[in-house]
Structure 1
Amino acid sequence: MRAYLLLMLVAAAVTYLATPGARWVARRTNAISAVRARDVHVLPTPRLGGLAMLLGIVVAVVLASQMPFLSGVFADPQAWGIVGGAAIVCLLGWADDVWDLDWMTKLAGQVLAAGFMAWQQVQLTWLPTPEGLVITSSRLSLFVTVLVVVVAMNAVNFVDGLDGLAAGLIAIGGSAFFLYSYSLTQQSSPENYANLATMLLAVLVGVCLGFLPHNFYPSHIFMGDSGSMVLGLVFAGAAITITGNIDPTATGDALSGAQRVPLFIPLLLPVAVVLLPLLDMALAVVRRVAAGKSPFHPDRMHLHHRMLALGHSHRRAVLILYVWAAVFSFGVAALVRWDWSVVLTGLGVAVVVALLLTLGPLRTRGRFLDDDVATGAVPAVPAAADAVAPTPTTTSHEGRS
């Protein structure tokens, strides 16, 4: 565990220290989020935080490759395949943040990055069901792998609309996934806790934590496409590689009790971690297609926009969405340690609390969570006839992320 925590700390420190440099590069290359009609931020903001994230990942992985404890992890090219894929989408995101690429070009670049990972043996070869469904066709394995990676990248992209939202959601969900992966490694390989997925998740959580001080409201820099796609790709890579820790030929007769649970978790936990982004993306596609528009047509109907419409301040909306992410991800991860009935009871209580926070009186109370407290601004008192809610200084990051 100490080795993983060290990698997390290194990734966080490098990302934190490199982010001002990424902000400088963004200004020099004009990678700036302008204020557009669909946005809710009021000032142009640099958006190349992904460069600092990529640097944090690279430095942490290079350090891990020099650790005797993790030397076996680098016996095959999977780790470098994920790092290479992250570099590809980071450069793609940089180009999009500067030149605003069309969606087909972005999709082609995402497929290229996912294909590179698959070429480096990061592939889904079976699905973790009780029967251990093996994907016998190499073409089907490649297609499913690329699909999972592309969906994960775009899901994180869609949810990145409030300061600190995407980085915080991945940090929380990644922490739950990290604890699950470490616990699974203890069960499956008690003599050696070295594991690629656990290492990647530790690094992923670290870069998110290192970036958050710069990105939480009021944000000084956005992660941009270069960041959201890197987070999605690395998370998907970890989720794919973790299936290698479970024997696909195992059956219910061979496993019992808590040992049977891991057969389901690799399928459920990644979905739980990105449930909010996936839900946001699915609703956006349905909404836009039903209106006769392109699925990629931007609007102001994302989940984070709805939170603001409920009356929540920017910071309050982000923190409540953090709560929902923790409920789903840690709820599923808890199945590894506790009986499903106990977990289901706790999950029900947590959902009720999250609903009260979302729809209850906190929408108009909790002065310390108001946006003007964070910025030090003195809120104006508008006349009754034309009172309006204060405009949060963020952006709908679809198109910026």
Structure 2
Amino acid sequence: MRVYLFIAAIAGGVTWLVTPLVRHLAIRIGAVGQVRARDVHTVPTPRMGGVGMLIGFAVATAYASTFPFINGLFASSNQAWFILCGAFLICMLGVTDDLWDLDWMLKLAGQLLISVFVSWGGIQIISLPLGSLVTASPSLSMAITAFLLVASINAVNFVDGLDGLAAGIVAIGGIAFAIYSYILARTSPSYASMATLIDVMLVGVCVGFLLHNWHPAKLFMGDSGSMLLGYLITCASIVMTGRLDPVSVHASIYLPVFMPILLPLLVLFLPVLDMILAIVRRLSHGQSPTHPDRMHLHHRMIRIGHSVRSAVLILWGWAALISFGSIMILFFKAQYVAIGFAISTVILTIATLYPYYRRRIPEIREENAALAAARHREQSADDENRRHKD
């Protein structure tokens, strides 16, 4: 575990050090996000923060390849280098979008091509738990892998709307995923795990970037960062599915069989939910799925009265509840997990709705008082009319 923590520290430290340089580069080449109607920030802010995260991830990967405990992963497979190559390509696609605002169809085509390339390089879901583990055909495996990669890339991109929100959610999910993959690796002769390695480096770059991205942000991650984070966390989950041998899996560990498929969806539950709601909302109004609006989850949090920081912290709390709640069932009895989950849900619900009700309760009281006064005036007028008639 100490090895993984050290590599995470390298990824975070390098990201923290190079991000100011990336910020100056972004300003110099014009990668500055102007204030749009749907934006929460009020001043133009440089984008392209994903480049700093990519550098941190690349340096940590290169260092890990020389570390005795880890280097066997690099000797036995080229997965790490294909993942790094795909990270470079997806980040560069994001950089072009940060600079020139690519058409959504062109960006989607680029994401698909990169996903197919990475899948061709061996980053594939090789089996699916459908009653029993069913080995997928190569073409189906590549199609499912590409779909998951593109969906995750765009889900994180959708949720990237407040300072620190996307980086924090992905870091939380990465920690939960790293715990699970590390536990899974301990059942093997070697504790070394490519999935755990990717996760800890991902958490490191997120933390390093957050130090510059916390509100008020000095730099936005832009599409270069949001797409990179969605890509990396999904690559880690796909790599982990390759550790499950369909022959050796027994029904007694059926939940761990499903967990590699479920956990990526759970750790990215909020981004995926936000993306699905946005697509349904826009299609129902006859708009393109990529049509911008101010109806994302983070926009709603701001609208009901949260500050940027409180909205981010509460959304982090929901992400942590879903991510860690999904793996706690592997350590504790289901009823205890359910009780803890229910209590946490109530607390987070109260925290989420508190600004709304704090504002609305006085308004409701004023409305009730005004209504009571109007009724009193009407009653007084009726009494006065009756007296005149009498």
Considering the TM-score relative to the shorter chain, is it more than 0.5? yes
Structure 1 runs of 4+ aligned residues shifted over 4 Å read 361-365
Where 1:127 maps in the other structure, the secondary structure is strand
Residue identity (%): 51
Contact 1:132-1:250 within 8 A present in 2 as well? no
State the partner residue of 1:298.
Answer: 292
**Structure 2 gaps, min length 5:** 360-390
Distance in 2 (CA, whole Å) between partners of 1:323 and 1:234 is: 22
More helix by share: 2
Among 176, 195, 198, the alignment partner of 1:200 is: 198
TM-superposed CA distance for 1:299, in Å, is 0.4
Aligned to 1:133, what secondary structure does the other structure show?
strand
* Amino acid corresponding to residue 147 of structure 1 in structure 2: F
Aligned equivalent of 1:372: none
- Report which stretch shifted further, 72-81 or 50-59: 72-81
Contact residue 185 and residue 193 of structure 2 kept, 8 A: yes
Trace 1:97-246 onto structure 2 (pairs within 5 A).
97-135=98-136, 137-186=137-186, 188-189=187-188, 191-246=189-244
Report Cα offsets for 1:234-277 as digits up to 9, x if no partner: 111001010122222345xx353xx4431121122111110000
Per-residue deviation at 1:7? 0.7
Question: In 1, are the aligned partners of 2:157 and 2:223 still within 8 Å (CA)?
Answer: yes
Whether the aligned pair in 2 keeps the contact of 1:288 and 1:295 (CA below 8 Å) is yes
2:89 aligned partner: 88
Give 3-state SS (helix, strand or coil) of 1:360's partner.
Answer: helix
The 8 Å contact of residues 123 and 238 in structure 2, kept in 1 or not, is answered as yes
Query: Does the 8 Å CA contact 1:273/1:328 hold for their aligned counterparts?
Result: yes
Q: Name the counterpart of 1:66.
A: 66
Question: Once the 2 structures are TM-superposed, how far is the Cα of residue 363 of structure 1 from its aligned partner?
Answer: 7.6
Q: CA deviation at 1:285?
A: 0.3
Query: What is the deviation of 1:362?
Result: 8.8
Distance 1:207 1:129, change over 3 A: farther
| Larger mean Cα displacement after TM superposition, 168-177 or 260-269 | 260-269
**Mapping of 1:338-349 within 5 angstroms?**
338-349=332-343
Larger Cα Rg: Structure 1 or Structure 2?
Answer: 2
In 2, distance between residues paired with 1:362 and 1:170? Answer: 27
Q: Distance in 2 between matches of 1:18 and 1:231?
A: 17
Query: Which ranges in structure 1 are unaligned for 5 or more consecutive residues?
Result: 366-401
CA distance in 2, matches of 1:222, 1:102: 20
What is aligned with 1:29?
A: 29
Deviations 1:18-61 (A, max 9, x none): 10011011111100100112222110000011000000000000
**Which residue in 2 is equivalent to 1:392?**
none
**Cα distance in 2, alignment partners of residues 213 and 171 from structure 1:** 13
* CA distance in structure 1 between the partners assigned to 2:305 and 2:355 by the alignment: 10
**Structure 1 position 185, deviation (Å):** 1.0
Cα offset, 1:120, TM superposition: 1.2
Q: Distance in 1 between matches of 2:235 and 2:355?
A: 40
Q: Deviations over 1:315-363 (max 9, x none)?
A: 0000000000000000001122122222222111111111111112598
**Deviation string, structure 1 residues 347-387 (Cα, Å, up to 9, x no partner):** 1111111111111259869xxxxxxxxxxxxxxxxxxxxxx
What is the distance in 2 between the residues matched to 1:302 and 1:342?
33
Distance 2:310 2:177 in 1: 25
Query: Corresponding residue for 1:382?
Result: none
Query: Is the Cα contact below 8 Å between 2:40 and 2:162 reproduced in 1?
Result: no
Q: CA deviation at 1:130?
A: 5.0
> Does the aligned pair in 2 maintain the 1:130–1:263 contact within 8 Å?
no
Deviation at 1:162, TM superposition (A): 0.2
TM-score of the pair, normalised by structure 1? 0.87
Determine the C-alpha separation between the residues in 2 that align with 1:72 and 1:39: 46
Distance 1:63 1:70 in 2: 10
Q: Distance in 1 between matches of 2:64 and 2:199?
A: 13
Given that residues 40 and 161 in structure 2 are in contact (C-alpha distance below 8 angstroms), is that contact kept between their aligned partners in structure 1? no
Separation in 1 of the partners of 2:358 and 2:51?
A: 37
Paired with 1:49 and 1:169, the residues of 2 have a C-alpha distance of: 16
In 1, Cα distance between the equivalents of 2:310 and 2:303? 12
What TM-score, normalized by structure 2, do the two folds share? 0.89
**Offset from partner CA, 1:6-25 (integer Å, 9 cap, x none):** 11000000000010011011
Query: Root-mean-square deviation (CA), in Å?
Result: 1.5
Instruction: Find the partner of 2:303 among 300, 309, 331.
Output: 309
Cα separation, 1, equivalents of 2:247 and 2:163: 44
Q: How many residues align?
A: 358
